[in-house]
Amino acid sequence: PAVGIVIVAAGSGTRLGHPEPKAFVVVGGRSLLERALEASFSLSEPASIVVVAPASHRAGAEEIAMRVAGAARDSVRVVVGGATRQQSVGAGLAALPEGTREVLIHDAARALQPVAVFERVVARIRADGVGVVPALPVVDTIARRAADDRVVEPVDRADLAVVQTPQGFPFPLYRAALASAAADHTDDMGVHRAAGQPVVVVEGDARGFKITTPWDLRRAEQLLGAERP
Ligand code: C5P
């Protein structure tokens, strides 16, 4: 397949307050990893999918991945992640087929991101050969603050974007960017930019919020409940 999707699920997710790693927490009857996989398998074209799992949960991730894949089990692999998100992404990229043209990197924690966002990212990479991130406008007033609580300056929110995943890149360019990354970045856009590569935004979706705190988990449960017939 032209498209490769790396689902990073190797974080511990301690802020969620659950004993198991975040990707294995269940919302509305299915784990976050299962939901992220379902979106990936719903793409309108075949994709090579790599799940990056914690070492402690490799077998559990395999079981979930195979169940969601069904007959397409050859298109999904599970690898073990690293100590940082960036290392986990590296492990995922290494497991993609050599001929992959576009790579999408997605947080399992953004389990409710609709597949339409994945499609938008792929289309824009193909159209322009650039890095692409889904983003939402900032609705709050934002201030830069100092350690002593002083407001240093208000920041014009029109200049800002809330960035989500999946973040997508031409595969060879992103692989090179990651190989040359000096610092540890919190997302892939940061890695691509640090290598001097252009990144553009496309429209994200409010459902693509990162499930981080117990409050987020409740919000996800309520959204799923509202979707039931
Ligand atoms: O910790 P953070 O919220 O930034 O994690 C974002 C995503 O990266 C999560 O889906 C998490 O499972 C993943 N991650 C990872 N390996 C790590 C840390 C985070 O795959 N070492």
C-alpha of residue 85 to centroid of ligand 1, in Å: 5
12 pLDDT band (50/70/90 cuts)? confident
- pLDDT, tens digit (0-9, with 9 covering 90-100), for 143-161: 999 999 999 999 999 999 9
**In whole numbers, what is the pLDDT of the chain averaged over residues?**
96
Residue 133 in 3-state DSSP?
A: strand
pLDDT of 17 reads 87
ipTM of the complex: 0.96
Ligand 1 pocket, Cβ-based, cut-off 6 angstroms? 8-11, 22-23, 52, 81-85, 88, 107-109, 186, 210, 212
Domain that holds residue 151: 3-227
pLDDT of 228 reads 61
58 pLDDT band (50/70/90 cuts)? very high
Residue 229 has pLDDT above 70, yes or no: no
Q: Among 188, 167, 197, 4, which Cα is nearest to 99's?
A: 4
Residue 131 in 3-state DSSP?
A: strand
Report how many domains make up the chain: 1
Ligand 1 atom showing the smallest separation from residue 110 Cα: 10
Counting ligand 1 atoms within 8 A of each CB, the residue from 33, 107, 113 with the most, and so the one to mutate, is 107
pLDDT of 14 reads 85
Q: What is the CATH number of the domain that holds 183?
A: 3.90.550.10
Instruction: Output the residue whose Cα is nearest ligand 1's atom 19.
Output: 11
Distance CA 141, CA 145 (A): 13
- pTM to 2 decimals? 0.96
How many Cα atoms are found within 13 Å in the side-chain-facing hemisphere of 140?
A: 4
Which residues are within 8 A (CB) of 23 and not within 5 positions of it... i.e. 6 or more apart?
9, 10, 11, 13, 31, 32, 33, 36, 53, 57, 61, 108, 109
Distance CA 11, CA 54 (A): 7
